[in-house]
Amino acid sequence: MGLILTTFMISQGTEYVLPALIGNLGAIIGSVISVRIMLTFTKKFYKYNPEEDKATGTLEKKDEFREIREGNVFQRALDAILEGGKMGVDMGMAIIPGVLVVCTLVMLLTFGPSTDPVTGQEVYTGAAYEGIKLLPVIGDKLGFILEPLFGFTSPEAIAFPITSLGAVGAAMSLVPEFIKSGAITPNDIAVFTAMGMCWSGYLSTHIGMMDALNARQLAGKAILSHTIGGLCAGAAAHFIFTLVG
């Protein structure tokens, strides 16, 4: 997803090549922070004490082996492909509700009504991207936080990070409209790239991952660390862009 997002941002214009690369660096910083926070939570959850293990010399090996499928190489490969395909479909079906709800709400709350070409009045025609324009109002109120932290110059820019929580692919569709209207700058592209890469799979991964690890109690901690990591990624990208630019 990071490669897709970076390529998409670069394709918007040559002036966005450097911001997209800076966004990658910001995403790395945010990812490191997120992982370190999650490691702190997991150590407490599993009551891990490395000093005690060194002192006793009893490092228990638990769940280091997995069951191998029966059959020859061809049969095992075929089983893996079929099982992987089934799991992919199940995961896709699990992702759809959250993505649809979040993305639809964000689009409804980001853009306002269309403008009548004859009268110049704002009207609702049923066209795409029509909404009640609530997020820009909230972004304007939070400008004193968003501007120094992320460098956003337009309240509409808050829509990209919020949409990324549901689906980065849907958030990408907002960028051309923002560029066309002049709502975002190259700095915003760097921040968008960093936060989009760091928050990719935000709603769709944590429950499934924690279930697979038999640690569903850590799902909330995983979401929290992921959230902090994304915010740090955006802030890091902004400050790096400011220094480089």
Highest mean pLDDT among 92-106, 150-164, 175-189, 193-207: 175-189
Give domain status of residue 238, yes or no: yes
Give domain status of residue 63, yes or no: no
Q: Which of 58, 34, 5, 63 is nearest to 194 (CA)?
A: 5
Look at the chain and report how many structural domains it folds into. 1
Amino acid at 79: D
Alpha carbons 103 and 205: distance in angstroms, whole number: 17
Q: Which pLDDT score, from 0 to 100, does residue 231 have?
A: 94
Give domain status of residue 61, yes or no: no
Q: Which pLDDT score, from 0 to 100, does residue 137 have?
A: 84
pLDDT > 80? residue 189 = yes
Q: Which pLDDT score, from 0 to 100, does residue 62 have?
A: 54
Least confident of 97-106, 111-120, 165-174: 97-106
Residue with tokens 């990209």: 160
Least confident of 5-14, 34-43, 154-163, 175-184: 154-163
Question: What does the mean pLDDT of the chain come to?
Answer: 84
Please report the DSSP string for 53-88 in residue order.
HHHH------S---PPPSS-HHHHHHHHHHHHHHHH
Q: How confident is the model at residue 98 (pLDDT cuts 50, 70, 90)?
A: low
Q: Which pLDDT score, from 0 to 100, does residue 12 have?
A: 93
8-14 CB contacts, 8 Å cutoff, 24+ apart: 8/172, 8/175, 9/175, 9/189, 9/192, 9/193, 12/175, 12/176, 12/179, 12/189, 13/179
Work out the average pLDDT over 60-89.
Answer: 79
Q: Which pLDDT score, from 0 to 100, does residue 54 have?
A: 61
Using only C-alpha atoms, the chain has a radius of gyration, in whole angstroms, of: 22
Alpha carbons 122 and 124: distance in angstroms, whole number: 7
Work out the average pLDDT over 171-185.
Answer: 88
Q: Which pLDDT score, from 0 to 100, does residue 57 have?
A: 56
Give domain status of residue 208, yes or no: yes
Taking only the tens place, the pLDDT of each residue in 24-50 is 999 999 999 999 999 999 988 888 777
The residue among 207 and 105 whose pLDDT is bigger is 105
Alpha carbons 7 and 188: distance in angstroms, whole number: 16
Give domain status of residue 68, yes or no: no
Domain that holds residue 110: 1-46+74-244
Alpha carbons 215 and 225: distance in angstroms, whole number: 15
Q: Which pLDDT score, from 0 to 100, does residue 162 have?
A: 81
Distance of alpha carbon 15 from its chain centroid, rounded?
A: 23
Alpha carbons 86 and 79: distance in angstroms, whole number: 11
Give domain status of residue 197, yes or no: yes
Give domain status of residue 51, yes or no: no
Give domain status of residue 57, yes or no: no
